[in-house]
Amino acid sequence: MPDLILRMKPLSFTRSFRLLARNQYKIALRRMQLQQGWFVRIVIGVMMVYSAFILLTLGFFFDRFTEEVWPTLDPLTIVNRYLLAMFVSIFFVRFLFQKTPKVKVVPYLHLPIRRGALVAFFQSTSLLSIHNFYPLLFFIPFWLRYVQSSEVVSGHAMWLIAVFLLIASSHYTNLLLRAVLQRKAAIFYGLMTVFMVTAFIDETSGIGVQQRISEYVFSHILSGGLLEIGILFLTFVMMAPASTIQLSRTINNPESREEITRVTTFAIPESWGLTGQLVRLELLLMWRNRRPRHYLLVSLLFSTMYLVFMLGNGKAFNGYTMAALLGLFASGGFVLNYGQLMFGWDSEYYPALVTRNIPFKSLVKAKLIVLQGSCIVLFFTSLPLFIWFRPDLVPLHFAFLFYNAGITSVLVIELASRNSQAVDIGRSGGFFNYEGFSAKHWIWFIPTALPPVLFMLAMRSRPSLGLVSLATLGLISILMTDMWTRYFARGLQGRKHTMIEGFSKSAN
């Protein structure tokens, strides 16, 4: 049968596009039906409708939301001033979460479909993304309300076209960057560091170069300026073909999944026992394999450079409610990201692991130690930044150290212990691959992050008491680590065969 397929005449572009479109629709439908229960589908649907409603409302009534912060500026001036910053933020969001078309192209390479047709189809359909659609829910109502009704006539359509070009350029720039960084991940960390430092200096010095450029460009476009919109069009014309060419190259010359083994190792005293050896293996797995190492380095990066940017902008975190989110990520960022796949990282050798003479209690305790230890490391890493930029938030940082180590770690382990999706720890699958994550992993963030935020909101009149309460709750949970260990061990024992079967099926 494979030889027969290879001898078949390649399909035309039209037939290829129809076949691929029909197949992708069926895949999406079956994936939603099989991988997500009715409760998850309802929750996701409600969240999507609610988010769309917020964006539409914000677009139509933007002046109501800005009159207290910028009472002297009209809505169009505000949006023009912050439009570039808005798209930079959207770019980073899509960079972290959007998948590259290569993931979808590979399964079709054995079929009699021209590779050019495959690349063209998935490059074009990749535009049908929530990252491109949702911004329009704000910009189109805003354009109808504030741009079209302004005195300027000639630039109405050009302003909206410029927004479309920014979205499309951001989309293809993301695809190009992710494709290039699959082999050169170090470039990403360097670029992120340079960007954060530059943005922080620009923001804290009061220069506002980005805001001035943004306001100048879009004000001129609104006045009919052809040069500015020509630059945006040229950017799109460069990024779209470049990302397409890069995708074709990665398909014709696939990256090897073999990675140079990192020989870095360390020994621990025998007196630490089996739990200490399991902690050592977890740390070695994290450092020697590509995906776990990304989570480690990105957690350190966001707890330093990104934290500098957020703490430097004091206006954004004046209230304890929003600062609670900052405290949650400052010392708990690694727990929230790496910890959700705590047992998925072991999926390749999980059957061998559970058949050894290794008690589940020791396995769980080792993983809890790693997560709780990461809270301490990130706490001391970011503590100098709190002392320098926001000394008033140092008590909050201390409180959330105990909360993250005691509560957040336990909540994340609860989710991880119920995961049965295999993870390939050596494969990137595109930079920031989210293989192993499902809708429940994103939804789980709500019960993890919302309680401390709502609690600090309720205690806004007595914030010190609120912080002491959170720290005390976290400390009590830390003292109950043995109880949590026994609880998770019993759960893993009962789900042992289910997890082995799930890891095996998803790996194949």
Query: Within this chain, do residues 238 and 282 fall inside the same structural domain, yes or no?
Result: no
User: Which residues make beta-bridge pairs with 113?
Assistant: 11
Query: Within this chain, do residues 246 and 286 fall inside the same structural domain, yes or no?
Result: no
**pLDDT tens per residue across span 317-328:** 556 667 777 888
Residue 4 has pLDDT above 50, yes or no: no
Tokens describing residue 448: 């993890």
Query: Within this chain, do residues 20 and 113 fall inside the same structural domain, yes or no?
Result: yes
What local confidence, expressed as pLDDT, does residue 439 receive?
Answer: 55
Query: Within this chain, do residues 110 and 176 fall inside the same structural domain, yes or no?
Result: yes
Assign 11 to helix, strand or coil: strand
Query: Within this chain, do residues 377 and 277 fall inside the same structural domain, yes or no?
Result: yes
What local confidence, expressed as pLDDT, does residue 399 receive?
Answer: 92
Q: How many CA atoms lie within 13 A of 39 on its CB side?
A: 2
Query: Within this chain, do residues 371 and 500 fall inside the same structural domain, yes or no?
Result: yes
- Looking at the structure of the chain, the number of domains it has is 2
DSSP for 280-341, written as a single string: HHHHHHHHHSHHHHHHHHHHHHIIIIIHHHHHH-GGGG-SHHHHHHHHHHHHHHHHHHHGGG
Query: Within this chain, do residues 105 and 24 fall inside the same structural domain, yes or no?
Result: yes
Percentage with pLDDT > 90 across the chain: 12
Query: Within this chain, do residues 211 and 317 fall inside the same structural domain, yes or no?
Result: no
Domain housing 427: 272-507
Least confident of 155-164, 181-190, 285-294, 435-444: 435-444
Q: How confident is the model at residue 75 (pLDDT cuts 50, 70, 90)?
A: confident
Query: Within this chain, do residues 369 and 286 fall inside the same structural domain, yes or no?
Result: yes
126 and 193 in contact (C-beta within 8 Å)?
Answer: no
Look-up: residue for tokens 């917020």? 54
Closest to 386 measured CA to CA, from 466, 474, 310, 459: 310
**pLDDT tens per residue across span 162-192:** 999 989 888 888 888 777 766 565 666 666 6
Residue-averaged pLDDT of the chain: 77
Query: Within this chain, do residues 29 and 60 fall inside the same structural domain, yes or no?
Result: yes
Q: How confident is the model at residue 38 (pLDDT cuts 50, 70, 90)?
A: low
**pLDDT tens per residue across span 363-397:** 889 999 999 999 999 999 888 888 887 888 889 88
Distance CA 58, CA 66 (A): 10
Distance CA 30, CA 48 (A): 20
Task: Indicate the helix (H) or strand (E) that contains 66.
Answer: helix 62-66
Considering the domain boundaries, does residue 262 fall inside one? Answer: no
Query: Within this chain, do residues 334 and 207 fall inside the same structural domain, yes or no?
Result: no
- The answer to whether the predicted template modeling score (pTM) of the entire model surpasses 0.85 is no
Query: Within this chain, do residues 198 and 328 fall inside the same structural domain, yes or no?
Result: no
Assign 358 to helix, strand or coil: coil
